[in-house]
Structure 1
Amino acid sequence: MADKIRPDIKQTPYWQDTLGPMPQLATALPRAADVVIIGSGYTGLNAARITAAAGRSTLVLDAGDAGFGCSTRNGGQISTSVKPTLAELTAKFGAQTARAIREEGKRALDWLGSVVEGEGFDCDFRRSGRFHAAHSPAQYETLVRDAALMSREEGIPSFAVPRAEQRRELGTDAYFGGVVFSDHCSVNPARLHRAFLNSVLALGVDVLPHCAALGIEKTGQGFRVRTEKGVVEARDVVVATNGYTGAVSPWLRRRVIPIGSYVIATEELPVSLVDELFPTDRIASDTCKVLYYYRASPDRRRILFGGRVSARETDTAQSGPLLYHNMIRIFPQLEGRAITHSWSGKVAYSFDDLAHTGTHDGVHYALGYCGSGVSMASYLGMRVGQKVLGLAEGQTAFDGLPHGSQPFYNGTPWFLPAAVAYYRWQDRREYRRALEAS
């Protein structure tokens, strides 16, 4: 397997190869701004788009390059974002709140599509649909039943694909059928981020990379944000750090679980092979608790394959071979094809599998997208910007939800290795039994 990992493999996202040079960004920290946003991913930039368009001087800070985090490192798959089912949310919050939360997921996807298409963003946005594959016959039955319920009660379009017809959607026999969710979309995530970045720069926003925020202090007039490059005064502060939330906000750090997600890209492949593996050009994922997700690149010359590869976090030199092994298990046709990129990014889970937005000690925030953040992070960033302006439309169904933590948790997920190992064992046992019975 090692000979399939090129010695010159890039430990950077494949998406970066599709970008031009970074636009000119700020280099100096201003003394003050109306709004200081910590984090330059989808959330932060969309908050900045709103505040700057309203005439508020806006500064966006980032500890690394602009968009260094998962906004430019994800798999480019866009769903309706809300993981708990309507029934699960109803049991917890009641029918009205549950339905409102689920509606926000659809609204986020629709909003993102309208922005991309309305503003002419060049980011390979496609309403491709998703094939969600079942890793056992029992999972297929559950998936079909749940999809029918969502279609009937929530208007989410889908259709079932039995195993006998699976290859019309995905070139593999490794699964036991699946469901196509027609509204899900694909995108080049780095080009989407670049489009948002260019739009805020055109509005006069200062984006200052390599300037980590170190602390936030309330003052009589607003806030004082301490950074690596000095102190900036602000009327309003937004924390938009998601999987990279650190000590700048200990309260938020205790409420999100950073989890590494790992991705590889193959070398360029024959068009006929890509057509065999992804005949409908849909994005794809599976029903494993420790899931894999994959797709063809927008130019349909490579396969991008991602997921969680080990119980503990690892580096991309180790994750590449592990992902390769699972890729050829699902797609034996790719055996012998080299991989050219191996990278990772941190997503952020919450303890209730929901995104959260609101204010704490006067500081606005949105984070915890649970691995489905392309549309939701962008959408909630926009809503946070509206909240900063005091607009009623900034309120969402996520506002006011309990945002809890766990005892003894301080932002380091000590429990994650055991949980991942257990879920992976469950997945393998169920899959092995399904193969033996088939």
Structure 2
Amino acid sequence: MWDATRPAATDIMTEDWSRRPYWLDGLEDPGPDATDLPKAVDVLVVGSGYTGLNAAIETARGGRSTLVLDAEAPGAGCSTRNGGQISTSIKPSLAKLAAKHGAARARAIRAEGETALEWIEERIRALGIVCDFRRVGRFHAAHSARSYEDLARDAERLEREEGIEARPVPRTEQRCELGSDLYHGGVVFPRHASLHPARYHGGLLHSARQEDVEVIGHCAVTQIVRHRDGFEVTTEQGMVRARDVIVATNGYTGAPTPWLRRRVIPIGSYVIATETLPRDLIDALFPKDRIASDTCKVVYYFRASPDRSRVIFGGRVSAGETDPAVSGPRLYDDMCRIFPELNGYRVSHSWMGTVAYTFDELAHVGQHEGVHYAMGYCGSGVSMASYLGMRLGQKVLGLAEGRTAFDDLPFPTRPLYTGTPWFLPPMVKWYRWHDRMQHRRAASTAPHPQRGAFPGAQS
């Protein structure tokens, strides 16, 4: 039922709300790097996000002249538009991977997720990037009692079989981790982390330029042609010869690389930031500063901003892609369903970015017709995109340490798929309907939690 104290739909957004990511507030524009396109380079990287910049840093350190091109401003894609949450990145379970790739390969793939999480912390420290990196832990919330039982079993299995810390939290203790009564408990992953995604990207950009990497934005690549001695890359500003080409476009993979475009599924992820909130409210909603996600098929992810002044809330709100002016109020509804205490506060930022899923839910790294690539992080790409970008740079240099557990995996596609996910709207509709039914069944059968057991006032 509509709350009479709640702002009308047209008033949910502040008068000066922005479509720019909240993360860009207060950051200086890094400005253009080069004005003239070089005629030839050793390595040309397409895409200036986490993957491309980490690859470029490695190749430049290896003595290769390196050029990074982007169709938009450097970092305009999801590297400055994500939720700033860092997990172990691998979605398929050990059992599912073992059934498909064998036990040894499955363990190696799963271990890469842990490696990437550890590596990004060290990368940030080594490069001296100030980006609010913190090991805050994740609370993964169960949207039904059955989901909690599954999570608790999985947590026990993760610790036993893979040594991954995971601690079940029953519903009666939930408010010690998250200030919501909607969920039915969850699991804490204490090693998961958070950062400020745009500050992290800005630090990578600065580090790349310190290594003499040229980064040119607003210079879309339109064609990549392989020759016996390298590549000719046609751009909006002219042609460049390159010994090696790296494609690091992830959710923005397009026509110049049709083979890759057929293998990644671009999906819009929508995010809002609230206006400034009272500190005691933030403390009640996020008492341990956890990042959070849930077990819905259409996942929500949320956290406090690094300065603990706002709530950052993201997810998928429509079957097809939509406008931030439309997604903002819808996300607000979902946020207030989880946190009724936020009713009446407004949204100051509403934006979207495009992630890339794959048909096997795994990231992929390799070569096709001589072009190096890494992409398909399935919505968990902060650490994995960075890590695989670094490994890709090592591969270009011919270094043995560049090898990963993802090498030589088949990169599947589907018949008739050319890069436009026509199948996504009906799938999202089905999953959203499934989630609603799960919530209704859970609400009708679950006892109300004992409020007296939970710390913190809600206002």
TM-based fold match above 0.5: yes
Residue type of the alignment partner of 1:364 = H
Q: What SS does the aligned partner of 1:305 have?
A: strand
Q: Which residue of 1 aligns with 2:433?
A: 425
Counterpart check, 1:52 vs 2:60: yes
Counterpart check, 1:196 vs 2:201: no
Q: Which residue of 2 aligns with 1:437?
A: 445
Equivalent of 1:366 in 374, 382, 386? 374
Equivalent of 1:121 in 126, 129, 133? 129
- Contact preservation (8 Å) 1:26, 1:209: no
Alpha-carbon offset, residue 6 of structure 1:
1.5
In 1, the alpha carbon distance for the partners of 2:434 and 2:82 equals: 26
Structure 2: any 5+ residue segments left out of the alignment? 1-8, 447-459
- Contact preservation (8 Å) 1:357, 1:365: yes
Residue type of the alignment partner of 2:177 = E
Counterpart check, 1:316 vs 2:324: yes
Alignment coverage as a number of residue pairs: 438
Counterpart check, 1:345 vs 2:353: yes
Counterpart check, 1:226 vs 2:237: no
Residue type of the alignment partner of 1:291 = V
In 2, the alpha carbon distance for the partners of 1:286 and 1:41 equals: 27
Residue type of the alignment partner of 2:259 = W
In 2, the alpha carbon distance for the partners of 1:346 and 1:220 equals: 35
Alpha-carbon offset, residue 61 of structure 1:
0.3
Alpha-carbon offset, residue 4 of structure 1:
2.0
Alpha-carbon offset, residue 404 of structure 1:
1.0
In 1, the alpha carbon distance for the partners of 2:235 and 2:188 equals: 46
Counterpart check, 1:138 vs 2:146: yes
In 2, the alpha carbon distance for the partners of 1:60 and 1:340 equals: 33
Q: Which residue of 2 aligns with 1:270?
A: 278
- Contact preservation (8 Å) 1:28, 1:208: no
Q: What SS does the aligned partner of 1:340 have?
A: strand
- Contact preservation (8 Å) 1:257, 1:348: yes
Q: What SS does the aligned partner of 1:419 have?
A: helix
Q: Which residue of 2 aligns with 1:29?
A: 37
Equivalent of 1:396 in 401, 404, 409? 404
Residue type of the alignment partner of 1:224 = E
Alpha-carbon offset, residue 303 of structure 1:
0.3
In 2, the alpha carbon distance for the partners of 1:173 and 1:259 equals: 30
Q: Which residue of 1 aligns with 2:223?
A: 215
Equivalent of 1:386 in 394, 411, 416? 394
The two structures have a TM-score, normalised by structure 1, of 0.99
After superposition, residues 319-330 of structure 1 pair within 5 angstroms as: 319-330=327-338
Counterpart check, 1:71 vs 2:79: yes
Residue type of the alignment partner of 1:123 = C
Counterpart check, 1:257 vs 2:265: yes
Cα pair distance change 1:18/1:90, threshold 3 Å: farther
Alpha-carbon offset, residue 115 of structure 1:
1.1
Q: Which residue of 2 aligns with 1:245?
A: 253
Q: Which residue of 2 aligns with 1:174?
A: 182
Computed over aligned residues only, the root mean square deviation of the Cα atoms, in angstroms, reads: 0.7
Residue type of the alignment partner of 1:407 = P
- Contact preservation (8 Å) 2:127, 2:207: no
Q: Which residue of 2 aligns with 1:357?
A: 365
- Contact preservation (8 Å) 2:58, 2:390: yes
CA displacement 1:85-141 (0-9 Å, x = unmatched): 000000101000000000000000100011112332100000000000000000000
Alpha-carbon offset, residue 21 of structure 1:
2.9
Alpha-carbon offset, residue 24 of structure 1:
4.1
Q: What SS does the aligned partner of 2:187 have?
A: strand
Q: Which residue of 1 aligns with 2:292?
A: 284
Residue type of the alignment partner of 2:98 = T
- Contact preservation (8 Å) 1:15, 1:73: yes
Structure 1: any 5+ residue segments left out of the alignment? none
Counterpart check, 1:103 vs 2:89: no
Q: Which residue of 2 aligns with 1:12?
A: 20
Q: Which residue of 2 aligns with 1:157?
A: 165
In 2, the alpha carbon distance for the partners of 1:212 and 1:178 equals: 44
- Contact preservation (8 Å) 1:239, 1:366: yes
In 2, the alpha carbon distance for the partners of 1:376 and 1:337 equals: 35
After superposition, residues 403-422 of structure 1 pair within 5 angstroms as: 403-422=411-430
Deviates more, 1:187-196 or 1:116-125: 116-125
- Contact preservation (8 Å) 1:173, 1:330: yes
- Contact preservation (8 Å) 1:387, 1:394: yes
In 2, the alpha carbon distance for the partners of 1:58 and 1:436 equals: 59
Residue type of the alignment partner of 1:388 = V
In 2, the alpha carbon distance for the partners of 1:432 and 1:59 equals: 53
In 1, the alpha carbon distance for the partners of 2:45 and 2:30 equals: 20
Q: What SS does the aligned partner of 1:49 have?
A: helix
Alpha-carbon offset, residue 221 of structure 1:
1.2
Deviates more, 1:381-390 or 1:25-34: 25-34
Q: What SS does the aligned partner of 1:216 have?
A: strand
- Contact preservation (8 Å) 1:224, 1:234: yes
In 1, the alpha carbon distance for the partners of 2:343 and 2:221 equals: 45
- Contact preservation (8 Å) 1:62, 1:208: yes
Alpha-carbon offset, residue 26 of structure 1:
1.5
In 2, the alpha carbon distance for the partners of 1:103 and 1:4 equals: 43
Alpha-carbon offset, residue 280 of structure 1:
0.2
Residue type of the alignment partner of 1:386 = Q
- Contact preservation (8 Å) 2:171, 2:184: yes
- Contact preservation (8 Å) 2:32, 2:216: no
- Contact preservation (8 Å) 1:90, 1:97: yes
Q: What SS does the aligned partner of 1:298 have?
A: coil
Q: What SS does the aligned partner of 1:97 have?
A: helix
Alpha-carbon offset, residue 66 of structure 1:
0.1
Alpha-carbon offset, residue 2 of structure 1:
2.1
In 1, the alpha carbon distance for the partners of 2:48 and 2:167 equals: 37
Equivalent of 2:340 in 332, 338, 350? 332
Residue type of the alignment partner of 1:80 = T
Q: What SS does the aligned partner of 1:176 have?
A: coil
Residue type of the alignment partner of 1:343 = W
Q: What SS does the aligned partner of 1:401 have?
A: coil
